[in-house]
Amino acid sequence: MRCQSIVCLILPIVLWCAPLSGAEPAAPAAPRGAEGIGITIERTGPVKVIIPSGQHGLVGFPDEGITFLSRKPLSFLLVAGVSTRLMQGTSLGTAAPVAEVIAPSPDGPDNGYAGVSAAITDPKDGTIRAFYHAEDWEGYDKLGLNGVNNFLASVCLATCPAGSRVFTKQGPVITGPDPKDTTSKHPQGVGTASVTVTPGGKYLLAWFTVYSPAAGRGSEIGMARAPAASGGGAGSWWKWHDGDFSEPGIGGRSSPVISFRERKGAAMDASVVWVPECRRYVMVFTGVIHGDTAPESDPQGGIWVACSREGIAWSEPTRIVKGIGVPCPGRECTMHPSLVVNSATADTIDATLLYGYSPSWGFTVEAPSHHLVGRTVRLTLTDGE
């Protein structure tokens, strides 16, 4: 089924204006906390297929959140399978791939997978700085749940000059603290970074999935910060740890800003936007609850939303979409969300939630892999002030 664009999109194109240089961020002010703030779902529209599985030969998408590059013409990066495509068209539903722009390398940290999850654009020269989820598959076995390859993840950077389709890989910029262990039964490292610029243009903020938390805990969402002037290159990021941006982006430790430990679950795949009308960061992410993937289970996870004043302390998450947040053969799956804000006031947001969906995950016509769907949502924000 083919679907036209379901809304008139106002695209979240991230720009920054500072010259490029490198410096450690100054110590942050203490976060104000999330007490009193919250976000609720006022209404949701019906799910609509935007790009069906198999269209243009694409399968397994989006495998990261959608990364928009421009509005006119519509241009965005879509991860399908293990690589990233540049998509262009007059709407999301009619967009087609024009080039594969980032793909796995024969060796190095992205030998198995290279999927862009965020990008910023320098308005002075138009350079695109794309942050991508890299997976090292070498030596790892496949995961038992779904046959997907196990991996060591890192956040890597690739740059593209204005007017070009050629991205040059710059290597890892955020990595986990643990050494590679091919005997691990779960993924390692950090990845799937969502990157935005602070309202004043001083810093870049990144929220990433931590795949190697302490024993007995599922994946969590960590945070890092870099001077905007650095462009987010290697050595510029500092992770949030024990109340400060005090640990280096390469190899440092991190404290979670979103955790589902009390729910006996995992939080991952964050996508964050700054909404100036509300003066809030809004995050959508995938939450998986222990037991969701068991046969005949009633999944308690899905896609969740939370808000924050400064991006560190978050409101209690609210579930928007119920489902299994990881590929699970034969089951309804919802994953890799992103949020496009269409309009907002001081306390309401009208948006389109985009995500990967499969009614019965697999690799056949009867059980297709995840593909791009969308639904409109209205969110209401509360404030304790």
Residue 20 counted as domain residue = no
Residue 373 counted as domain residue = yes
Phi-psi label, residue 171: left if phi above 0, alpha if psi -120 to 50, beta otherwise: left
Which helix H or strand E contains 198, and what residues bound it?
Answer: none
Return the pLDDT at 124.
80
Residue 46 counted as domain residue = yes
* pLDDT over threshold 60, residue 101: yes
Q: How many domains does the chain have?
A: 1
Question: How far apart, in whole angstroms, are the C-alpha atoms of residue 140 and residue 183?
Answer: 7
Residue 290 counted as domain residue = yes
pTM check: above 0.95: no
Residue 346 counted as domain residue = yes
CATH number at residue 301: 2.115.10.20
Condensed to tens digits (0 to 9), the pLDDT of residues 299-324 reads: 999 999 999 999 999 999 999 999 99
List C-alpha distances in Å: 305 to 33, 268, 333: 17, 12, 17
Question: How far apart, in whole angstroms, are the C-alpha atoms of residue 272 and residue 336?
Answer: 12
The CB-side HSE value for 58 (13 A sphere, CA atoms) comes to 28
Condensed to tens digits (0 to 9), the pLDDT of residues 144-202 reads: 778 889 999 999 999 999 999 999 999 999 999 999 999 998 899 999 999 999 998 99
What length does the chain have? 385
Residue 301 counted as domain residue = yes
- Angle CA 338–254–23, to nearest 5: 90
Residue type, 134: A
Question: How far apart, in whole angstroms, are the C-alpha atoms of residue 190 and residue 204?
Answer: 17
Residue type, 140: Y
* pLDDT over threshold 50, residue 12: no
Residue 26 counted as domain residue = no
DSSP 368: P
Determine the structural domain holding residue 319 and report its residue range. Answer: 38-382
